[in-house]
Amino acid sequence: MIVLFVCTANIHRSALAEAMLASALRAAGRSDLRAASAGTIALQGLPASREASELARRRGLDLSGHRSRPLRRPHLLEAARVLVMESAHLSHVGSLAPEALPRTCLLSAYAPPGCRIRPGGDVPDAFDGDEEGLLRSHEVLRDCVDRLWSELSCRTMEAYVAAVESRLQARVGGGLSLSPADWSLLDAWWSDGVPLWIVLDCLEETIARTERRGDSGRMRRLSYCAPLVHERREAWRRSMVGEPPVRREEESPLGAAAQRLRDAAQALSGTGQAQAARAVEKALLEVEAMPRDEGPALQRLRLLELEDDLGTALRAAAGPHALASLSRMAEGELQPHAGRMTPEALQRTLALLVDRRLRDHYGIPPLAPE
C-alpha cells in the first residue's frame, strides 16, 4: 500500500511528510506500507531544499537521497491514499485522475487539537531563508503525519473503535459514548475492511454538514454518517480494482503506443491535417527508437514525457485561433475551482486540459494508459 504526499514543487512539504512517515514505518518494521511524494509542478530530479534538509537532519530525518518528481497519473492510480497540502492540489489530482479523488484528502484533515492549522486548511509552505516559516510548516507536518500514522497503524478492532469514539467525542461532545447501534456499525465496517480513514473522513464531513445547517445537536450517532461511509467505501473499492489487463510478453507499453500512433498518423493523413500527421509520425519514430530492454514502469515514464513533447507539437499544428477556443473552454471548466488554486497550479491545469482536448481533437489516445 502506497501513501502518496503531494505538494507543489516536491522539495519541501511533501518531501518532509514522506520522510516522517517512512521513519515511522521503519521503526515499526512495517513492510506493507510505503511512503512516496510528488509535486504538481515539480521538476524531475531536484534535491530537497537546503533549509528543509538541514531541519530534517536536526530532527533525525534524512532527505539526502530525496529527488523531486512531477505528479503523474500512474502515481495517483497506484496509491491507496493521497494526502495533498493545499486545496488547489485537490483540483490538480482531479484533472489528472478523477478516479483517485475518493482516496484523496487534505493532509490537514489529520490536524489534531492544538495544531497550528485547522482541519481543511492549507499546510503552510516556506521559502529559502524563512526559518520561522520553515519551523511552523515542520510542526504542522509533524502533527498531521503523527495522527495519520496513529490511524494507519491501527491493527485491532479495539483501536479502530477507540479512534472513532475519540474523534466523535472531540467533535461533538466529551461525554458522548458509543451506543449499541454504533458498536454494531463499527463491527460491520471493521469486518468488511472499511479503512479507518474513510470512516473518520465521513464523520468529519457529516458533522460539518450538520453544523452548516445549524443542526449539530443531532449528530450524536454514527448512523448519520453511515450512508456516506457506504458511498465512499464503494467508490474506494471501485478505484482500487480494475487491474490492467494482462498483456502477452510481446505486447509491451512501447509496442502498444507505437500502434496507437500509427493508427492516428494514418487517420490524420487521410483528413489532410499534414502538420499534425508529421508531429505524430515524429513521435512514432521516437517510440520505435526507445530501448526495449527496460521495464514497463520506465517505458511508461518515457511515454509520458513524449506525450508532453507531442502536446507542444500539436499546439503548433492547431494554430492560435483553435488554441484560444480550447483555452476558453478549459477556463470555463476550471472556473468553479479557480479561486482555490494558486496561479501556477491554475496555469498548469489549464495547459493539461488544453493538451487533452487537442489529443481528443486529433484522435490521439493516451500513449501510456493504465
CA distance 49 to 13: 10
CA distance 15 to 19: 6
Whether 345 has a pLDDT exceeding 70, the answer reads: no
What kind and span of H or E run contains 320?
helix 320-334
Are 222 and 169 contacting, i.e. CB atoms less than 8 angstroms apart? no
Q: Taking all residues of the chain, what is their mean pLDDT, rounded to a whole number?
A: 81
What kind and span of H or E run contains 106?
strand 104-106
Look at residues 316, 318, 320 and name the one whose alpha carbon lies nearest to residue 362: 318
CA distance 181 to 194: 17
pTM over the 0.75 mark: no
**Chain centroid offset of residue 72 CA:** 9
307-326 residue pLDDT tens: 878 888 888 888 888 888 87
Mean pLDDT of the region 245-261: 65
Per-residue b or e along 130-161, where b marks 16 or more CB atoms closer than 10 Å to that residue's CB: eeeebebbbebbebbbebbbbbbebeeeeebb
For 286, the grid coordinates are 521516437
Model confidence band, residue 138 (pLDDT cutoffs 50, 70, 90): very high
263-279 residue pLDDT tens: 888 877 767 778 888 88
Torsion of CA 345, 350, 355, 358, to 10 degrees: 170
